[in-house]
């Protein structure tokens, strides 16, 4: 079993027919009205190498200081100097705020109130935070790597390259300047929404339980 579709491509070819993709689900929340005239962004994930917060901080430093953007970052600092670096980023730019670890309900509230979830991971198995964003009416801007592509789809328009701070900065500037680009991400996320509902997950689990395992030819 895999949590996202792109994972199947990384299995040996003879094992792929036996792999079932079951997306994680989240409780749907009604979208909230968002303020106009600025871009409010959420980043939710513990501060560690796999989540790549440094690309976010480098991108923030490249943005025009006059750009109306706010970034709210939720997650504990689990490794190295990440806490110090997050505090330094706050000192440099008041548009960025790091809240540390928050209870799940509060973290999801941060996502729900944002115009955009930024997800710059270097490694993912299938991040449930993407599911929570989509089922809260918040579109996603994500690094183009397997775990994210498997959740959002090959043709999703909201990717930047892994570790590409200038690319992330350009994408954020474009979304600030062009509300239609943000609406495009919203539409693309809504097209994926039905994959991540609790009903879809239950149905997939039931199908896995009752479907005989296909034998691998040797």
Q: pLDDT, tens digit, for every residue of 167-211?
A: 999 999 999 999 899 999 999 999 999 999 999 999 888 888 876
**Would you give the end-to-end CA distance of the chain in angstroms?**
21
Residue pLDDT, tens place only, 90-134:
999 999 999 999 999 999 999 999 999 999 999 888 889 999 999
In the prediction, which pLDDT does 218 show? Answer: 47
Tokens read off for 182: 């943000």
Identify the CATH class of 26-195: alpha beta
Do 69 and 38 touch, CB atoms closer than 8 A?
yes
Tell me how far apart the alpha carbons of residues 145 and 75 are, in angstroms, rounded to a whole number: 21
pLDDT of residue 168: 98
pLDDT for the residue 8: 67
d(CA 4, CA 88): 35
What are 37-94's pLDDT values in tens digits? 999 999 999 999 999 999 999 999 999 999 999 999 999 998 879 999 999 999 999 9
Q: Which pLDDT score, from 0 to 100, does residue 190 have?
A: 95
Tell me the average pLDDT of the chain. 91
Q: 0.85 exceeded by the pTM?
A: yes
Helical (H) or strand (E) element with 119: strand 116-119
Quick one: pLDDT band at residue 140, thresholds 50, 70, 90?
A: very high
Domain ranges of the chain: 26-195
Give pLDDT, residue 216.
Answer: 47
Dump pLDDT digits (tens) for 208-217. Answer: 887 655 554 5
């Amino acid at each position: 079993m895999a949590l996202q579709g792109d994972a199947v491509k990384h299995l040996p070819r003879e094992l792929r027919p036996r792999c079932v993709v079951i997306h994680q689900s989240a409780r749907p929340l009604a979208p909230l009205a968002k303020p106009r005239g600025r871009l409010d962004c959420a980043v939710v994930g513990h501060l560690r190498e796999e989540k790549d917060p440094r690309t976010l901080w480098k991108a923030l430093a490249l943005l025009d200081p006059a750009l109306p953007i706010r970034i709210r970052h939720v997650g504990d600092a689990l490794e190295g100097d990440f806490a110090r670096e997050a505090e330094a980023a706050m000192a440099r730019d008041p548009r960025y705020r790091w809240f540390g670890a928050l209870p799940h309900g509060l973290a999801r509230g941060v996502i729900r109130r944002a115009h955009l979830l930024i997800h710059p991971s270097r490694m993912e198995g299938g991040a449930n935070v993407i599911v929570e964003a989509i089922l809260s009416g918040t579109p996603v801007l994500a690094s183009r790597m397997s775990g994210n592509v498997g959740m959002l789809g090959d043709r999703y328009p909201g990717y930047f390259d892994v570790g590409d701070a200038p690319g992330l900065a350009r994408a954020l500037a474009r979304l600030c300047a062009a509300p239609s680009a943000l609406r495009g991400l919203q539409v693309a996320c809504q097209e994926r929404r039905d994959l991540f509902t609790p009903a879809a997950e239950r149905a997939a689990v039931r199908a896995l339980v009752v479907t005989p395992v296909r034998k691998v030819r040797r």
